[in-house]
Structure formats: C-alpha cells, structure tokens
Amino acid sequence: MSFVMAMWRRWPLVGSLLDVRNNAAMKYQEWAKTYGEVYQVQLRNTNVVVVNSAAAAKALFQTNSHALSSRPVTYTFHKGAPSSASFTIGTSPYDESLKRKKKGAAIALNRPAIQSYVPYLDLETKSLIRDLLDIGKMGTVPIDPLPMIQRMSLSLVTTINWGVRVPSIESELFREIVTVEEELNRTLTATSRSLRQRRDKYMAKFDEDVARQVEEGLSNKPCVQASVIKYKEVELTSAKLRSISLSMTSGGFETVANSVHWTIGHLALHPELQDKAYEQIRQFSGPGLPDAAGDQKCAYILVLAKESLRYFTVIPLALPRVSIKDIYYEGALIPTGSTVYMNAWACNRDPGLWSEPAVFRPERWLEHPDATVFTFGLGYRMCSAHLLAARELYLTFMRLLSSFRFVACGKIRCDPREDIKNPKDLIMAAKPYKVMCIPRDEKGLAECLTVDE
C-alpha cells in the first residue's frame, strides 16, 4: 500500500486533456527521465497512467492484455451523442457487444480476406501514380501529394468495406468524406452533431446498398460488410454493422494517408534513400510496376515501411485503455478502472531498444528483425487492421519509389518532432509541402498504367 501511495504522490499536474494533447507524447517521454518509465498524470478530473518504455509497454499491454481490454467511456462519445459517433470499435468499452463486433471485423481483416482485396490494392495504387503523373504534369509542376494520397487511402477503405470506389479528388464524395472525417478525427472529443449527421448520410447509403446486394444475391466483390453479413456464425445487428463501417473509416483513412504523406516528404529530403530503394526494387522485380500480389518480399521496402511506422508514429499516444482488473507492475498497483495510455512515440524511440532513435534508418530492422513496432498498439485492443495497413504501405512505397524520383520544391519541413500540422490532433499530420514527382521511366510507366475504372 505504501508503495502505491508513493507512486500516486508523484503525479505532475498538467492541466486539461486538450492542452496535453499538444505534443503530449514528446512531453511525456521527456518527463519519464524524471518520473520513471510509468507514472501518472491528471487530465481534467481523471488520473491517467502513462507508459513510456518498450519493456513496460510489453509487460503491461501484452502480458495483461485482458486486464487492459477496455476503453474509457467519455461523455461526448457515449452519453451525449445519440448518432453514429458513439459506436466505433476503437471507442467501445469491453463488453459482449464489442466482442461480437471485433469478431466480425477479424473475419474481414485476416490474411485470406486481405488476399482477396489485392485487386483493390492494385487499382488504387495505380490510380495514385496516375494522379501524380497527371496533376504533376509528368513531373514538371510542383504539387502537394496529400489529396492524391488521401484519395487512395479513402478509396481503399470504401472498396474494402463496401465495394464502392472514390474515383477522383474532384468528386463530391471525396470532398465530403475528407471534410467530415478530418474534422471528426480532430480530437477524441469532437462533438459536432451536424458533422455526424453528414457522416450518417453517406454511411447509411453505402450500408444499405451492400445489404440489398447481399439479399438479392448480387454481391460478388469481396468486401467487409458483405462477408460479415454472409458469415452467419456472428449475427450482427445493423447498428453493429454500422459500427464496423465507422471503425474502418475512422481507423483506416487518415492513418494510412498521413503515414504515406510524412514519408514522401522525408524521402524528398533524402534522395539517397530513394536511390537505394529503387536499386533494391529493381533487383527484386522486373520492368514495369511491381506486382500487387507480391506479399512484402522485397526486404528493403518492408523495412522502409516499418521505419516509417516507427519514425512517424502517427497516433503517438495510441488510443486510451481502461483496466478491468487490478494490475501489479514493479510492485505498484494500477487499480481496476484506471485509464492507461501507451506512449507509442516513446516506445518506438526507446533508447534501450534502438541506437540513434531520432534517425530515420530502415536498416535497423534488418539488424533486429524481431523488434516490435508499437505504432499499432499491443494486446487485445491493438489495431484490428495492422496486417492490412502494413500491406497497403508496402505496396504503395514499392510502386511509388519504382515510378518516381521525388524532388523537394522549396523548403520541406518534415521533422515529426517539430513540424506537426495541428499538434492537438489525435492523428498526427505533416505540414503541407511541395514536390516534383519525376517519372523514372515515362514511357514504361504510361504503358503499365492501363487502369480499369
């Protein structure tokens, strides 16, 4: 008991949740030098345990996976919001309903299911390359690639979830979904009722279309909603199906888009990394675009994607957990009902794990292939789609780096310690920048970009 008291006496008080979200992960990492790798802070009226080292994160989130399987029930998400925003998998507390939703999502996101999405990965990565070529006028006009990357990421979410494409950055659908999702992802406490109503509108249309197609026997394209409806072992209500749709969109769109956007900015500043990647891809795959079905076999691009996940850690504090059992760690008690944050940023940059953690160096993963990436979280509530996300990143980098040289235009500020667009956001985005996307082989590229729309 006295040890527990000692631990509880050590909290630094940091003010409101919104204040600390401002580069919080970096501040918390710094504080660990003074207060130890696990300590508590007060966020508004809640005491929160923050876990700041790789070893502690594994001991807590992996070894105590079940004890840390719930999420906090915040007012805005669960009590004050009657519409869809209450119910993503990522914000649901642990209960029977969550278990069913997670089972449904798992069926649609396991390895064989992901294999069936290869045609979508193929089409959307090709479309990204074509957009960069067209909008960048064959590498002659500087562009910010963000909207094109967002379209790819969004269209992957919508095709994988509902079988519906987002064909162009000019489309009404693209503008509407990007506006609404960006705003709703802004913080965990986003409350706008009208935004949620706008989201409900496009989600309802997609959900109803899939349900009708399944009922009429017309659904022949693989997609999450159709597989979950058809898989009778887990019968899900329409509310739970909607929850899966919401989870896929809020979980999958900005995370992948921002990871790619940060990385392209960084690569534009480091042509030597691009050249090495290009050389490795060419040794590995023949002329033309690398095969979409190739499953992460080019070792250098695989480690480049891992390093991108580590270095940018786009959700620096992962998503908060709540303990459903008492946990004892290093002689101290984390009582049932505690809120616990994994500082994924600090774990990914743990000097006990990595030398020069602040340097982007893909080779570190070749030297330590079994090291952990903390970016997707750990344990029962880790990212449901980490296999899919890793595959999306791999193919995107494979194809982008085999197609283009990215040349920085003007000053690109792309250091994740300093250059976050909105430091209070849940998902960390890079500041806008411009690059020239110069085709490495203009003629060859044009030939292999016959995209079936």
Residues binding ligand HEM (CB under 6 A): 89-90, 102, 105, 157, 247-248, 251-252, 255-256, 259, 314-315, 318-319, 321, 375-378, 381-385, 388-389
387 class by beta-carbon count within 10 Å (0-12 exposed, 13-18 middle, 19+ buried)? middle
Instruction: Report how far apart, in Å, the C-alpha atoms of 386 and of each of 238, 255, 383 are.
Output: 25, 11, 5
Could you tell me the smallest distance in angstroms from the CB atom of residue 59 to ligand HEM? 15
Give Dmax over CA atoms of the chain in angstroms. Answer: 73
Report the residue number, 202 or 278, with the smaller CB distance to ligand HEM. 202
CB closer to ligand HEM, 156 vs 445: 156
Closest approach of ligand HEM to the CB of residue 256, in Å: 5
Quote the least distance from Cβ 80 to ligand HEM, whole Å: 20
Tell me the closest approach of the beta carbon of residue 319 to ligand HEM, in angstroms: 4
Smallest separation, CB 140 to ligand HEM (Å): 31
In the bound state with ligand HEM, the residue whose beta carbon lies nearer, of 210 and 445, is 210
Name 429's Cβ contacts closer than 8 Å, sequence gap at least 6.
Answer: 254, 258, 261, 314, 420, 421, 422
User: Among residues 39 and 376, whose Cβ is nearest to ligand HEM?
Assistant: 376
Which own/partner pairs from 180-183 qualify as long-range (CB within 8 Å, at least 24 positions apart)?
A: 181/154, 181/249, 181/250, 181/253, 181/254, 182/254
**Toward ligand HEM, which CB reaches closer, 185 or 255?**
255
End-to-end CA distance of the chain: 65
Which of 124/139 has CB closer to ligand HEM?
A: 124
Q: Which structure tokens are listed for 248?
A: 């896929």
CB-nearest residue to ligand HEM: 377
What's the closest the beta carbon of residue 212 comes to ligand HEM, in angstroms? 23
In angstroms, give the least distance from the CB of 309 to ligand HEM: 6
For residues 90 and 265, which CB has a smaller minimum distance to ligand HEM in the complex? 90
- Tokens 């080292």, residue? 53
What crossing angle do the helices spanning 271-284 and 386-403 adopt, rounded to 10°? 100
- The nearer residue to ligand HEM, 273 or 319, going by C-beta atoms, is 319
Residues 378, 62 contacting (CB under 8 angstroms): yes
In angstroms, give the least distance from the CB of 40 to ligand HEM. Answer: 18
CB nearer ligand HEM, residue 371 or residue 382: 382
Least Å distance, CB 330 to ligand HEM, is 21
